[in-house]
Chains A and B, each alone.
Chain A
């Protein structure tokens, strides 16, 4: 009996052992089969997900920390076609909330392109509208659970950042804009696009929670701090807008710069664009150079160039402030007669009188006495005809013809001396005149004050572009320009502050001839002259109330200078001298 049980037990053990062995063999075979290799490969494909992390675009601040360009969340709204239950409900809800055509939405959902499981209905939707839709979806889902009606199942919301400009159109010409593809256009947005955008990073992200040990950190784009003073910019734009109405001008520019280091404090132009609605660009502008005329629209600046001619004459020793000459009202240069702006003769004048009365004949006399080589060498050193290197996109160089150029004529030596027959942008004239205001050293205008990356701020140092004239010449000329304004009782003067400056009235060439009724009125000035803290350039295009810069651009300069003095806390000369004396 016992032996019989023992035998049965042995058979049973053997059978179970064989089964266990068969299972192990089968497991081993499956594990090492070709199919297993395929499955392992598929598993490894899903073990990690290749994701591209796009850094947030760097912000742009003004010099006092006011946000000029930031980022905000907007939403892409789409439909997951695999789980959608009620296309009609989705089409109704979205069309009511977003104002999109109902039939268009319904068609998109019901007739999607071949092979798609997700379709986008709308993108760049404001957070508030997306939130309303999300609330509606939630409410309808609750009602759908109670069997009342179909929900918005399948309606998906994906947030992503979009550029936002809190100041709307303020400083639009300086900032530029970013399109929906994330590319910057114009201004610092284009100039520093690579820095602002940052570098997208592609990372293999493990889907297995056990391997979620690494946090992908994508550094944001570099934040920029501009030299612009927001309040001064707003004031400049307001003054410019009012000036266009007052003087019935067709366009205008006001630029405020610190002549000691080239920092741009304000740059107002017309027209301006609400950067949050950049798609209106084509409606507002006909040509790209209209976006920021201050740097991209060269024009014949007229008599403001007399500052440079006089600087060259003084520096080269051709003249001194006390040098006199007899103004006969005309001069023959290169076979052409050049006359004064009023076609009158002014008799004996010294060099200050030349500037005070803005005598063309005087300037043509100086340039011809200097000779073409010396004159154009100075103009070249002042930077006319060259890019200033300002850190904004779209700068134009203007044109200064030189002897030997096919279109240069001897008369140009005369006309160029008072700013006709050459073209320059306002920022070029400012850069050139900065050598006079800044004791002989030319500054490079720039809009970038600092960059902030990884929590560290890197300040941008001032750059100097040479010394075309001596310190003595610069200071002497500043004094002469201040005296000429005071003797003229210019509308540009600000009580309590000594200011140097020069008007410019340039006829506009129409069909190859200068039109006496259409002018570009300009004024450039700086102050206080013993310690210049601001330089202002005003350009009014075709003012209708008066063609003269002294009656249009000069008072605008005066108004802008007063505002600048207040906003920059510049005490009157008498107070500053007290401070210096102590």
Chain B
């Protein structure tokens, strides 16, 4: 008897819980909260990707500037080296080291089989590394709004 009463009471409580109006409200609130969480996650992801893309872009700009500076430094050093090894400087250094210009009668020539006089070919014909335009997929540098715009434009072109 007592057991039956307990079962009935329990069933009544379950039924009352299922039909309680505040439960429906909480279901709505929960669903809305879920939507907000999903939107927040998308927004966070979007911000993260956008910021990373911006940082990468800024690094590209910095590296481009670094390349320019390096080229300037290289040109400066090349010119400085040429100045330090210029004809007049090298001649002065040679004289200071005790060398003197030779006379033609002092030259001794040996016939070396197979020797060929080197021809002036000072710069190789190998191509220099080329800095070509980077091919980055649009997914990596377009914003969400850009993507939405693109999709709308595509759909409108499809509708026509």
Interface residue ranges, A against B (CB under 8 Å): 56, 59, 61, 63-67, 70-73, 127, 159, 161, 164, 166-168, 170, 208-217, 223, 225, 230-231, 233-234, 449-450, 452, 454-457, 494-496, 562, 565-566, 569, 571-572, 575, 578-579, 582
Contacts and interface: CB of A to CB of B under 8 A. Distances in A.
Contacts of A210: 50, 53-54, 57, 141, 143
Contacts of B124: 455, 457
Contacts of A73: 72-73, 75-76
Given A73-B76, A211-B57, 5 more contacts: A63-B120, A67-B79, A70-B82, A73-B73, A234-B88
Nearest to A63: B120
Nearest to B120: A63
Contacts of B126: 455
A579 B110 CA distance: 10
Contacts of B102: 566
Given A67-B78, A215-B133, A454-B128, A209 B61 contact: yes
6 contacts: A72-B75, A159-B72, A209-B57, A210-B50, A214-B134, A575-B111
Contact of B141 (A64, A66, A211, A575): A211
Closest 9 CB pairs of A and B: A209-B57, A455-B128, A166-B82, A67-B82, A65-B122, A212-B57, A70-B79, A63-B120, A234-B87
Contacts of B76: 72-73, 127
Nearest to A569: B117
Given A64-B122, A571-B109, A166 B104 contact: no
B79 A72 contact: yes
Contacts of A454: 127-128
Contacts of A164: 79, 83
Contacts of A496: 104-105
B139 interface: no
Given A161-B72, A170-B87, A455-B125, A66 B57 contact: no
Contacts of B123: 61, 65, 223, 225, 450, 452, 457
A71 B86 CA distance: 15
Nearest to B121: A457
A167 B82 CA distance: 8
Given A72-B76, A72-B79, A455-B126, A579 B111 contact: yes
A571 B112 CA distance: 13
A70 B64 contact: no
A213 B141 contact: yes
Nearest to A238: B91
B15 interface: no
B58 to A, nearest CB: 4
Contact of B58 (A64, A65, A209, A449): A209
Contact of A168 (B53, B85, B88): B88
A212 B61 contact: yes
Interface centre among A71, A495, A496 (most CB of B within 10 A): A71
A532 B37 CA distance: 91
B79 A71 contact: yes
Given A211-B141, A212-B58, A455-B127, A225 B75 contact: no
Contacts of A159: 72
Contacts of B122: 61, 63-65, 225
Nearest to A61: B122
A456 B103 contact: no
A582 B103 CA distance: 27
A231 B87 contact: yes
A225 B117 contact: no
Contact of B133 (A65, A214, A231, A456): A214
B132 interface: yes
A215 B64 contact: yes
B125 A456 contact: yes
Contacts of B57: 208-213
Contacts of B111: 575, 578-579, 582
B103 A562 contact: yes
Contacts of B105: 495-496
Interface in B29-59: 50, 53-58
B87 A167 contact: yes
A231 B61 CA distance: 44
B87 A56 contact: no
Contacts of A457: 121, 123-125
B112 to A, nearest CB: 10
